[in-house]
Structure 1
Amino acid sequence: MKPQIRKRAVIVAASALVVTSVGVGVSQAGPEHRDAPPTKARIAALFDGWNDALRTGDPEKVADRYASDAVLLPTVSNRIRTDHAEIVDYFEHFLENKPVGKKIETIVNVLDKNSAIDTGLYEFTLTDPDTGAQRVVEARYTYEYEKRGGEWLIVNHHSSVMPEG
C-alpha cells in the first residue's frame, strides 16, 4: 500500500471512530452524504435541520449546530453571541416563543468543498407563552457554513428584522 493511501485509510478509520464515539446527533447530513460535494440544495437544506432543532425546544440541540467559535447576531437580541454558552443563552429565551421558521427566499453560494453561504429572507411564527397569541416576524438572514470534522456547522449567523416590516 502506498504511504499516501495508507495515511488516508488511517484518517478515515480515525474519523469513523470519532463519529462512533460521539454519535452523529449534530450531523447535518446523513452518513451517505457526509463526503458528498456540497450543492446549493444540500446547503439550503441545512436550514431544515436547524429549524427541526428549534422545534425540539432544546437550546443545546440548536447550539450544537454552531461551531465552537461561531458568531451569532440574533434576530431578537442586541447582544452579539460569540461562544457556545452565549448561543445557548440566546436560544433559551428565543425558544420560549416556540419559533417556527420558514424560508421565503434563499440564495446559496458554495464557496468551496468546505464552505458555503446561505442568505435570504425568512419569517418566524412566534407564540406568546402567556397568551398563546401568535405573531410573525419577517427577517433577513445569512448563514455561513464550514465543514469541520465531516459536519456542516454554522460559523456565522446574522439575522435581523426587516427594516420596512
Structure 2
Amino acid sequence: MTKHEINDKDILALFEQWNSALQTGLPSEVVALYCQDAVLLPTISNDVRRSHSEIEDYFELFLARKPVGKIDQCSVRLHGDIAINSGVYTFSFDNEPDVQARFTFVYRNTGNRWMIIEHHSSQMPE
C-alpha cells in the first residue's frame, strides 16, 4: 500500500493485523508493528511505554490474558503519510470479564509499510 492508494478499509486492516499478532501470543510479533520511536499508553497499565523493550514488557503481561479485540465503533482519518483510527473496542479474555476501551492508533507510512507511531488505549470509565 502506498500513501496514494491507502483508504479507510486498508487502515481498518491494520487493526486486524495487530489483533492477529495478539493471537500469536508472542509479544515480539505485536511489537514488530510499532515504529522504534512509538509511544504506547496501554489499556491495563499506568506506565507510558516509550521504547520497544517497554512496549514488549507490557504485551508480555497483556498477552498472558489471551486477549481478542473487536472494534465496536471507529473513525478513520487520512493525512498524507499519517493515518489515524480512533474509537471504542472491546477485549475478550479467557475466564475474565470483557474490557471496553477507547483507542487511538496513529500510523505513519515508513515507505515500505504503515507502522504504529502512537497507540492510546484507556479503559472506559464506569
TM-score, normalised to structure 2's length? 0.96
What value does the CA root-mean-square deviation take over the aligned residues? 1.2
* Alignment of 1:124 onto 2:86: no
Code of the residue aligned with 2:24 in structure 1: it is T
Which one of the candidate residues 103, 106, 109 is aligned to 2:77? 109
Q: Which has the higher contact order (CA 8 A, sep 6+)?
A: 2
Structure 1: how far apart are the matches of 2:62 and 2:111? 28
Q: Percent identity?
A: 46
Aligned residues: 126
Tell me the distance in 2 between the aligned counterparts of 1:35 and 1:158. Answer: 23
- Pairwise CA distance, 1:157: 0.1
1:134 Cα deviation (Å)?
3.0
Dislocated runs of 4+, deviation >4 Å = none
Equivalent pair of 1:73/1:80 in contact (CA under 8 Å): yes
How far off its partner does 1:152 sit? 0.6
Deviation at 1:35, TM superposition (A): 6.4
Q: Secondary structure at the match of 2:49?
A: coil
Counterpart selection for 1:160 from 110, 122, 125: 122
Kindly indicate whether the alpha-carbon contact (under 8 Å) linking 1:44 and 1:106 is maintained by their aligned counterparts in 2.
no
User: What TM-score does the superposition give when structure 1 sets the normalisation length?
Assistant: 0.74
Secondary structure, counterpart of 2:64 in structure 1: helix
Structure 2 unaligned regions, length at least 5: none
Structure 1 residue runs without a partner (length 5+): 1-32, 128-132
Q: Considering only CA atoms, is the larger Rg found in Structure 1 or Structure 2?
A: 1
